[in-house]
Amino acid sequence: MRQELLSVTELSGSRHEIGLAHGRTHARLIQRSLEVYDRLFHDFVGIRWAQARIEAERFGRMIERGFPEILEEMDAIAEGAGVEPIDILTLNCRSEISLTRASGGCSAFALAHADNQWLAQNWDWRTDQLHNVVALKISGQNQAPLISIGEAGMVAKIGMNAHGIGVCLNAIRSQTCGEGLPIHVALRKILERPDLESALAVATRDRVCSPAHFLVADAKGQAVGLEVHPGEPGRLEAEAGVVTHTNHLYAPATTSRVEDFPRPDSRPRLARLDELLRESLPARGEIGESELFDILSDHHGEPLSICRHFNPAQPEEERMETLFGVVMNLTERRLTVRHGKPCETENTLTISLSPSPQP
């Protein structure tokens, strides 16, 4: 299948108007996403889509308690795409349904350098979801504009807002699941927060119902890694302006309470990120998008590398590859995404926001 050029989809208005436009614009991609996750649920947890819809119902009740307004947007996405509301709910709860056995590869880091706060990561997932990636610019009523790079039909994933709040995501494979917001719904709530304190409160007060790592930063140069789960999240503070994370838990407050099952590539990728950011990068002097995409393009230790390619040694259903790399300059409110492997793609999209003052 030929890869289409990634372009930004601008959505604005009420929750219903935003969702309806999202669904209508990306109806074909949403339908394909449902097919991808039907296969993934079968491969990893042995259920088909009909059973996954039943599993998703309990998460709908959690969303209604913690972020009820987003349900209106989800229902409108379903209306626009010509699917049932439960299908969009299930899509947005795909991590909670599948991550007992499936985990992606994502490598993420925050870097404060020369008065700029950077966030960056690769998103590694199954190749059949490559063509369903979308870039959304959302301008809601009484909300600062935000950008989300993620999957069609989902309310958020990786992005930033005009206040300079940004968030990255690392999947964690664990059998823990409790009360709180589903991962992707929590990410959207973070992207609607006006400052770092209220963004972090999504994890500390609202809580997240299954384990993940949220790397949250702001335009003022602050960055915190949160290993979220239904309890108090583990917290990773920046050291010399740097926070790094892959797909295993390592904050003592988390590892003492949550058991994870990382794949063998997670620790080598984390060690390589630390090496590049703490040793190699400072020697370069000036740092911009190009230098940070070089890190996301790194193949040291392949196939257990930051930039992941096809690996025939993995079982077919578990073959994860890098589907996009994203670099955000929160200080300048600029996000650049390379759709496909950052080492080889020419499909680059840059989106900027006009700064909204933090309250």
Q: How much is the average pLDDT of 118-141?
A: 96
Model confidence band, residue 1 (pLDDT cutoffs 50, 70, 90): very low
Give which of 153, 239, 146, 221 is closest to 190, Cα–Cα.
Answer: 146
Question: What confidence tens digit (pLDDT) does each residue in 33-92 have?
Answer: 999 999 999 988 899 999 999 999 999 999 999 999 999 999 999 999 999 999 999 999
For residue 285, the tally of other CB atoms under 10 A from its CB is 8
Distance CA(22)–CA(32), nearest Å, equals 15
pLDDT at position 99: 67
Question: What confidence tens digit (pLDDT) does each residue in 254-268 have?
Answer: 999 999 999 889 999
Domain-by-domain residue ranges, the chain? 8-97, 102-352
For residue 201, the tally of other CB atoms under 10 A from its CB is 14
Look at the block and give the residue holding tokens 């604005």: 12
Indicate if the pLDDT at residue 102 is higher than 70: no
Instruction: Place domain 102-352 in its CATH homologous superfamily.
Output: Penicillin V Acylase; Chain A (3.60.60.10)
pLDDT at position 312: 84
Q: Strands, E, within 152-251: which ranges? A: 158-161, 166-171, 212-217, 223-228, 234-237, 242-245
Task: Take residue 349 and report the two structure tokens written for it.
Answer: 């999209």
Q: What percent of the chain has pLDDT over 70?
A: 96
Q: What's CA 178's distance to the chain center, in Å? A: 20
Q: How much is the average pLDDT of 283-308?
A: 92
Indicate if the pLDDT at residue 116 is higher than 80: yes
Fold designation for 8-97? Arc Repressor Mutant, subunit A (1.10.10)
- Phi-psi map region of 240: left, alpha, beta (phi>0 left; psi -120 to 50 alpha): left
